[in-house]
Amino acid sequence: MKVLFVYPNVARARSPQVGLSSLAGTLEREGHQSALFDITFLEDAEIPGAYRRILADFQPDVIGVSSRSTEWPTASSILRMADVDVPVVVGGPHATIAPDEVIADERVNMLVRGEGEEAIIDLLGRLESGAALDDMPNLWFKRDGEVVRNDVRDLIQDMDGLAMPRWSIWDERHFREHYHQVFSPGAEIFGDLETSRGCPYACPYCLTPVMQKLYKGKGRYHREKSAQRIIDEIQELRRQRRIDYVRFVDETFILNRKRLKEFCELYQEIHLPFSFSTRPETVSDEMMRLLAGAGANCVSFGLESGNEQYRREMLNRKTRQQEVIDAVALAKKYGVKTFAFVMIGLPHEDRDKIQDTLELINLLQPDVFQITIFYPFEGTPFYDYCLEEGLLDENHERLTEIWKGSVLKQPHLPSDYLVRLRELALAFAKRDKRWWPIMYYLEKHPTAFRAWQAAHGVTGLASRAAGKLLRPVRERRAQRA
């Protein structure tokens, strides 16, 4: 059968989506065909025509939509751009955590909750043979105006048994202009890979607690690919796309020390720089030394808040402040650059707690840091908490980008104020605090802030800093051209 995947990438993220690559590889291995409708490089006005053209050219038997919560309004609108006579199936995070909303859409015939590789093959087999769908795990579907809701199947335990991802569905541009160029300016083609599934932690702002509950009793939640399988995947991606940089997308890459040591030995044959993410408390001197020796040139840490008590009591992150400081110091010791993620505008956060975050970033001096404004994703523990605390209306605006503003009702942290503070964060993070009084003034005075912003460019400090870091890459390409 022929499946057309729809990727409503409203954020226009450049890196290819690992989940869709895996599904496409699974279809290919089982003798099915797939194509991708991807809006990443389209202007909004071009989307309807492009969607209708690919439907006419590819003539799919099934349309499969992968959508995050922030993408669902766009996904739903795309489905209304053409009338089709084939089943429309929605999968991805939003179908998993908000299935009632998704199945209520008149254009949606069915949805898949949870992992999709086994489910999509099961579904296509039943559609081909005309077999009943009533007992198919993972599937919700409509019949005679009613919704049939099935439980999820057991988690896939043999990660090495997954099909090799199919990266050919992606436009070549997805592998270029990657934000990790700031860490490896000589690299030009970037590959994103997963080496495990199922984060073992339970942060309340994340989907993980939802997934852990959904799959309780359905098998081991945290699963890993073997070191050899990781190497095989890199070699295949390298063959297909000639990548010269690898980014591992796992939340916690170095949990399994035995696998990590084996990986570092095998990776010597790859000779490509790579980046990974982990939590500060998992870092040790030995592990950072091994990773740096294997080629790691960047580690990303999710710090979220610089206030240790808030981090522990509200975010369920037990990391001590000294562990954060030590982890960043170890990375610097072995020449591994650091990328830190923080949030502001969290539930019941105040300006003093945000100050702790700015102070921590100022102390750590990561090579790059990203600051986002907290957004409560539906289905997560924090979403329910915000509703219960009266911080959120159920009919709140669904933001497409998590730095555009806040949807929480916190009078002491209004949305426009948080946007200003986010724009000023890079200046706050500078080691020289003599400039901080100016920043304090600008954050409290919108008119002065807008004048400052106009003088420094409408995109603000963070975007200009990224542009400065990427400028040598762009200049080198222009010279070659």
**47-57 pLDDT, tens digit each:** 999 999 999 99
Strand order in the sheet with 139-143: 33-38, 2-7, 62-66, 88-91, 110-112, 139-143, 146-149
**Which amino acid does the sequence have at 471?**
R
Neighbouring C-beta atoms of residue 268, cutoff 10 Å: 10
| Residues 78, 189, 291, 471, Cα dihedral to 10° | -100
User: Taking the CA of residue 120 as centre, how many other CA atoms within 13 Å lie in the half-sphere pointing to its CB?
Assistant: 36
Q: If we measure between CA atoms, which residue out of 71, 63, 60, 58 comes closest to residue 17? A: 71
Distance separating alpha carbons of residues 179 and 11, to the nearest angstrom: 14
Task: Give 337-392 pLDDT, tens digit per residue.
Answer: 999 999 999 999 999 999 999 999 999 999 998 999 999 998 899 999 999 999 99
For residues 156 and 117, is the Cβ–Cβ distance under 8 A?
yes
Measured at the alpha carbon of residue 106, what is the angle toward residues 100 and 111, in degrees to the nearest 5? 45
Distance separating alpha carbons of residues 120 and 1, to the nearest angstrom: 11
Exposed/middle/buried for 385, CB within 10 Å: 0-12, 13-18, 19+?
Answer: middle
CATH of domain 179-480: 3.20.20.70
Task: Give 395-430 pLDDT, tens digit per residue.
Answer: 888 887 777 899 999 999 999 999 999 999 878 887
For residues 211 and 265, is the Cβ–Cβ distance under 8 A?
no
Q: What is the pLDDT of residue 12?
A: 86
Q: If we measure between CA atoms, which residue out of 317, 359, 88, 49 comes closest to residue 202? A: 317
How far, in whole angstroms, is CA 29 from its chain's centroid?
26
Q: If we measure between CA atoms, which residue out of 47, 48, 69, 51 comes closest to residue 5? A: 51
User: Taking the CA of residue 463 as centre, how many other CA atoms within 13 Å lie in the half-sphere pointing to its CB?
Assistant: 8
Q: Which tokens sit at 307?
A: 């206030």
pTM beyond 0.75, yes or no: yes
Task: Give 223-272 pLDDT, tens digit per residue.
Answer: 999 999 999 999 999 999 999 999 999 988 999 999 999 999 999 889 89
Neighbouring C-beta atoms of residue 76, cutoff 10 Å: 19
Domain boundaries in the chain?
2-149, 179-480
Beta bridge partners of 341: 302, 370
Task: Give 206-233 pLDDT, tens digit per residue.
Answer: 999 999 999 999 999 999 999 999 999 9
CATH match for 2-149 among 3.30.420.40, 3.40.50.150, 3.40.50.280, 3.90.1150.10: 3.40.50.280
Kind and range of the H or E run holding 360: helix 351-364
For residues 204 and 385, is the Cβ–Cβ distance under 8 A?
yes
Residue 280 has pLDDT above 50, yes or no: yes
Residue 467 has pLDDT above 50, yes or no: no
Higher-confidence position of 182 and 161: 161
The DSSP code sequence of 168-183 is GGS-GGGGSS-GGGGT
Strands 139-143 and 146-149: antiparallel
Q: If we measure between CA atoms, which residue out of 200, 311, 332 comes closest to residue 254? A: 200
